[in-house]
Amino acid sequence: TLSIGCACARKIEIGCWYPGFNTGYVGAEMAVDIGLLLDDAVEWCQVGVFAIDEITSQDDFKTVNIVGYDKMAKLTDPYTTAIASWPAAFSDICDEIAETCGFEYAAGTVFPDYTIPAGDYGRYTYREMLGYLAGCMGKNARFNGDGKCEFSFYTQTGVTIGRGIQYMDGLKKTGDPITVMSLSSGTDENPIASGVGKGIAFVNPLITQEMLDAALADIVGFTYLPCTMHWRGCPAIRAGDMVLVTDADGVDHNVPILEQTIAVDGGMECNITCGAESETAYAFDQNRPSDVKLNRVYSAVQQSIIDATERITGQNGGAVVTRYDENGLPYELLIMNTPDIASATQVWRWNTAGLGYSDTGYNGVYETAITSDGKIVADFIATGTLSADLISAFNHIMAGDPEKQRLELGLDDGRNPFLSVYNADGDLTLRLTNNAVDFTDDLQLKKYAFGTRVGLGIFVR
């Protein structure tokens, strides 16, 4: 899958007539070139520098099969450092790894002005550390044709693989074009994210928010086509490069080369993979420096909820689930009494329409809700102070203790307005309607009609 922070290794297998050396050369380095006969001249392309790992023969060394790996495959020792002062400069760590492991960086390599804090890095190999350092720059690490280490994020080669050099039905799309809009990294204990939308998620214990933001700024909006491709091939193109591929409709697509196999046997053919998990098992395989998956990744707050632990997302029995649309963007958050929407009975549902609670499952009814147009639907609202220009009620408003001293304002069964006052014992003491005022005397109401004088300065009108 599309990756950041990988330390990419290469393997070569050569079947040939006996070249004059035997198994005593195992461990020696060899530079491998591929030549193409063009007219009367040979055009040579250096594929890379490989350490011979195995020389075998099935015919008493008339012919041999030679297997080799580049330098990345050999960086398997546990990382150690002589740097005494931490935090350490990013460039100092990179330079020390190169010196310790005996390789050089490609000409023009420039390291960012970052510092790396102290940590328990001895549990990683040199290869893993090199991958993590590459990830801090938003890149991958690999060895080029000259055997020098370089850092890049899928280098554009300028090569277009048109229909004329593809094998018949050689292009097989394995998905729709994907646009990278976010990056997610860090660790399970300290996840970080930058951007919102589909993107790349990778593990990196060294990376910081500043580094991740800078890495996203370099690649945001990058679009590529997941596919496999069978074509004539070119030895100058390597895994980690990017080409344009023309589809049957004449549309060109970016295709990063995530895996490539070139066969040269009188002719040449090549298979390219982009966007599918490699099934190839190399002898030098080890835990990759980043477990890279193409995921839907989101804001930092969502990232800490979604990626820090699968239990929270419902994958391991949690009850908080984020739902996504067809573009990979979040549109709804659910909090339920079970992780499964179909079986949940108690559901909090939050989306752009509002926030609501149902005790009858996901599809409602939502009798408790706050809607996006400003309405609150509830059976009971408890509040310390309510300030409003207008309080509207269908039937009844009450202030006080429902069983004792209180004031009630509402409509009676005939839809006539009333106001009632109850004493500390919960007995009715005063009732005002649209045609009378009623007082009580020993719980016996006295009714005074309009125009009746009931006391000094008191008139009913």
- Closest residue by Cα to residue 144 from 110, 107, 112, 100: 107
Ranges 69-78, 159-168, 360-369, 374-383: which has the least confidence = 374-383
What is the C-alpha to C-alpha distance for residues 403 and 396, in angstroms, rounded to an integer? 15
Q: What is the pLDDT of residue 280?
A: 29
Residue 325's alpha-carbon distances to 90, 94, 160, 268, in angstroms, are 40, 42, 34, 44
Instruction: Give the DSSP letter of residue 60.
Output: T
pLDDT at residue 192 above 70? yes
In which band, very low, low, confident or very high, does the pLDDT at 454 lie, cut at 50, 70 and 90?
Answer: low
**Contact call for residues 192 and 222 (beta carbons, < 8 A):** no
Average pLDDT over residues 12-34: 81
Banded pLDDT at 246 (limits 50, 70, 90): very high
Output the pLDDT for position 461. Answer: 43
What is the model's pLDDT at position 330?
80
Averaged pLDDT for residues 362-385: 76
pLDDT tens digit string along 169-180? 899 998 888 899
pLDDT band at 328 (very low <50, low <70, confident <90, very high): low
* pLDDT for 384: 63
Are 259 and 280 in contact, with CB atoms under 8 Å apart?
A: yes
Most confident residue range from 158-162, 295-299, 323-327:
158-162
Looking at 113-117, 211-215, 398-402, which range is the least confident one?
Answer: 398-402
The answer to whether the CB of 91 falls within 8 A of the CB of 101 is no
Q: Looking at the predicted structure, is the pLDDT value of residue 316 above 50? A: no
**Partner residues linked to 273 by β-bridges:** 228, 259
Q: What is the pLDDT of residue 227?
A: 92
In this predicted structure, the answer to whether residue 366 has a pLDDT above a threshold of 70 is: yes
Residue 26 has pLDDT above 60, yes or no: yes
User: How much is the average pLDDT of 167-196?
Assistant: 89
Looking at residue 80, its pLDDT comes to: 95
Q: Is the pLDDT of residue 95 over 80?
A: yes
Cα–Cα distance list, 81 to 72, 128, 286, 300, 315 (Å): 19, 14, 21, 33, 39
Question: Comparing 9-13, 45-49, 341-345, which segment has the lowest mean pLDDT?
Answer: 341-345
Q: How many CA atoms lie within 13 A of 302 on its CB side?
A: 20
What is residue 79's predicted lDDT score, i.e. its pLDDT? 95
Averaged pLDDT for residues 16-38: 79
**Quick one: average pLDDT of 196-204?**
87
Residue whose C-alpha is closest to residue 206's, from 142, 289, 146, 271: 289
Give the chain's mean pLDDT: 80
Q: pLDDT digit string (tens) for 274-314? A: 873 333 222 223 333 333 333 333 333 344 434 443 333 44
Range of lowest pLDDT (156-165, 175-184, 198-207, 418-427): 418-427
